Amino acid sequence: MIDFAKFSIFTDAIKGGFGLLSSGVIDVWTIVLTSLKVSSLAVSIALLIGIPFGYYLGTRRSVSRTTALVIANAGMGLPPTVVGLFISMLLSRRGPLGDLGLLYSQTAMVIAQIVIAAPIVAAIVASGVSAVPAQLRLQVRSLGASRIQEAVLTLKESRMVLFAAVAAGFGSIISEVGAVQMVGGNLEGETRVMTTAIVQFTRMGNYPEAVALAIVLLAIIIAVNVFVTLGQTSSDRHTKAIN
Amino acid sequence: MSLVKNRVKFLCAALLVALSVFVLSGCGAKAPQKVTKAPTPKQVNMVLASTTSTQDSGLFDVLIPAFEKANPTIKVQVVAIGTGEAIQKGRDGDADCLLVHAKSDEEQFVKDGYADSRADVMYNQFVIVGPANDPAKIAGSKTAAEAFKKIADEKAKFVSRADDSGTNKKELKIWKAAGITPSGSWYKKSGQGMGETLKMVDELGAYTLTDQATYLVMEKEKAIESKVLFAGAPDLFNQYGVLVVKGAKQEAAAQTFHDWILSKEAQQTVIKNFGTADFGSPLFTPNAK
């Protein structure tokens, strides 16, 4: 049933992949840099939008807040292809924002990735912030802290969750292919990112190139998670020290 | 105490064994059920690797049902990819039959021993499309190579599929004939199929080389506004060929398809009439010998 000799398709591709990476074939690194640039920018903006929104959702108690939380949680499961579809129509020359000429540009990819990542950030921040005891916030308020100081303190208390929000947001968009393919178009040297290139190379049967990019993508995902785990464990120590 | 522990261990082990027996027997019982369910036991699934143009133009929507009607025991699974990928699939043994359009690559495929022969099936033409105002003034060129040269001289945007497809191979041949190695920000590589690339061309106000069938279908659906600016030159001729992959899993079925598509029925009734109702003229011209 399983022809073990044919596993050479993997070993050959992995060998070829590492060869491409070490030989410094510039093509691969251009793609990696584009990925990092677009996704970092998108996640930064998603944090700017998602953190205040998540803070609001996590600290207010009202019907509108519950509704908004449902929307944010649903947003976490927003299918990227659906985001790709709507952003494509929005930015198409025949669409309402067509005059900007943004379709098939890095800007379009950043916009789509913000839409995907912002609800994820907001929902995770909301859950983290709501775990901070309300009494703590009341106390600092009674000690004369402003609303902003209160928010900063609450967010500081839930910084473990902030790490998770960054990781989840970044992880979801750097590994995403549907939306970036639709709005970016996989143009070489412009909007070709790791995921769209992996799809293309796989379709063309160029497995070593695809594997080279897969190795880098996996390494980035692992690095992000190491960063988050370290952040979380240092927080743990911090809490233990207080106790 | 240890006795109790041992007993728990024994019970766990027994439970595990029982569970695995249950699962295994469950799997065993399912297999024969499937066999009795199949209505026609001799049905074979043949993989036909072809280009996006034959799929996107809708030709397969009429061609495949007609073939399956004539050969009810064969089910055709179409994998519509670029010609380069299709040929690679043939080499890997992942396709039984190829319907592609890159004659020199097809001949190489035969030379390398992956097929006994290739046969002409039909042809249509490539066209150069671009924005209606034709910034590089390519209309009125004598050859496609001359048109490409004008595009390069103007540094007008051009989107290449750059995906090793038949259309991409043709495009590179024309650049070569024009004596130009295209590069620079005006020359964009999409790495995607014809439909997506045409949409991109439309959005960017760029030029591209496309097969006529895909263009006509997309234009009819009002998916694009780009215009055909150059057509009809001898260097835009687009020949399709059929090949049976030697030693493929369903070689016999592939041979049946090969013979059928070259038959008078497929050529004169199906291919020759396809598209006439929608476009006023056929999209492909049959030319099997």
Q: Which residues on chain B are in Cβ contact (under 8 Å) with A203?
A: 81-82, 85, 163
CB atoms B203 and A203 under 8 Å: no
Q: In 3D, which of B262, B243, B283, B237 has the Cα closest to residue B87?
A: B243
Name B238's bridge partners.
B124
SS3 A88: helix
Per the CB < 8 Å rule, is A203 touching B204? no
The nearest CA of chain B is from the CA of A192 a distance in Å of: 8
Kindly state the tokens that stand for B199: 């949409």
Convert chain B into a string of H (helix), E (strand) and C (coil).
CHHHHHHHHHHHHHHHHHHHHHHHHHHHHHHHHHHHHCCCCCCEEEEEEECHHHHHCCHHHHHHHHHHHHCCCEEEEEEECCHHHHHHHHHHCCCCEEEECCHHHHHHHHHCCCCCCEEEEEEEEEEEEECCCCCCCCCCCCCHHHHHHHHHHHCCCEEECCCCCHHHHHHHHHHHHHCCCCCCCCEEECCCCHHHHHHHHHHHCCEEEEEHHHHHHHHHCCCCCCEEEECCCHHHEEEEEEEECCCCCCHHHHHHHHHHHCCHHHHHHHHCCCCHHHHCCCCCEECCC
Tens of pLDDT, residue by residue over B73-116, are: 999 999 988 888 899 999 988 999 999 999 999 999 999 999 99
pLDDT at res. A134 = 84
What's the pLDDT tens digit per position in A166-212? 999 999 999 999 999 999 999 999 999 999 999 998 887 788 999 99
Please, which pLDDT band fits residue A147 given cuts at 50, 70 and 90? confident
User: How far is B283 from B216, CA to CA, in rounded Å?
Assistant: 9
Q: How confident is the model at residue A6 (pLDDT cuts 50, 70, 90)?
A: confident
Closest among A36, A1, A76, A20 to A193, alpha carbons compared: A36
CA distance B194 to B53: 7
Nearest to A184 by CA among A172, A174, A196: A196
Please give the distance of CA B249 from its chain centroid, rounded to a whole number.
20
pLDDT at B208: 98
Is the pLDDT assigned to residue A157 strictly greater than 90? no
Question: How far from B170 is each of A27, A191, B286, CA to CA, in Å?
Answer: 24, 25, 20
pLDDT of B239 over the 90 cut? yes
Contact B120, B288 (CB under 8 A): yes
Residue among A53, A36, A174, A179 nearest A118 (CA): A53
More confident residue, B57 or B47: B47
Three-class secondary structure of residue A213 per DSSP: helix
Dihedral sign for Cα atoms in the order A121, A124, A130, A132: negative
Task: Indicate the angle between helix axes A63-76 and A26-59, nearest 10 degrees.
Answer: 160
CA A165-A28-A42 angle, to 5 degrees, is 25
Greatest mean pLDDT range, A126-135, B9-18, B186-195: B186-195
Q: Across the strands, what pairs with B44?
A: B74
State both tokens at A191: 């909007």
What average pLDDT does chain B have? 87
Percent of chain A, pLDDT > 90?
A: 48
CB contact under 8 A, B163 and A204: yes
Torsion-angle region of residue A101: left (phi > 0), alpha (psi -120 to 50) or beta?
left
Query: What is the dihedral sign for C-alpha A185, A191, A196, A202?
Result: positive
Contacts of A192 in chain B (CB under 8 A): 191
Chain mean pLDDT for chain A: 88
A3 contact B CB<8A: no
Long-range contacts of A196-203 (CB under 8 A, 24+ apart): A196/B191, A197/A31, A197/B191, A200/B163, A200/B191, A200/B192, A203/B81, A203/B82, A203/B85, A203/B163
Which of B84, B92, B200 comes nearest A185 by C-beta?
Answer: B200
Contact B172, B122 (CB under 8 A): no
Tokens 């992942």, residue? B94
Q: Is B186 exposed, middle or buried (0-12, 13-18, 19+ CB in 10 A)?
A: middle
Residues of A in contact with B188 (CB under 8 A): 187-188, 190
Interface contact flag, B85 A204, Cβ < 8 Å? yes
- Pairing relation of β-strands B44-50 and B187-189? unpaired
The pLDDT of residue B53 = 81
Q: What are phi and psi of B77, to 5 degrees?
A: -105, 115
Measured distance CA(A213)–CA(A99) in Å, rounded: 35
On the CB side of A188, CA atoms within 13 Å amount to 21
Query: Would you state the pLDDT for residue B115?
Result: 96
Whether the full predicted model's pTM is greater than 0.80, yes or no, is no
- 3-state class (DSSP) for residue A62: coil
| Consecutive H or E run containing A53 | helix A26-59
Contact criterion met (CB < 8 Å) for B203 and A93: yes
Any idea which residue has 């988050």 for tokens? A228
The predicted complex's ipTM stands at 0.78
A95 contacts chain B (CB < 8 A): no
Are A190 and B188 a contacting pair at CB < 8 A? yes
pLDDT at B16 over 60: no
* Chain A residues inside the 8 Å CB shell of B84: 204
Confidence band of B13 (pLDDT split at 50, 70, 90): low
DSSP code of A192? -
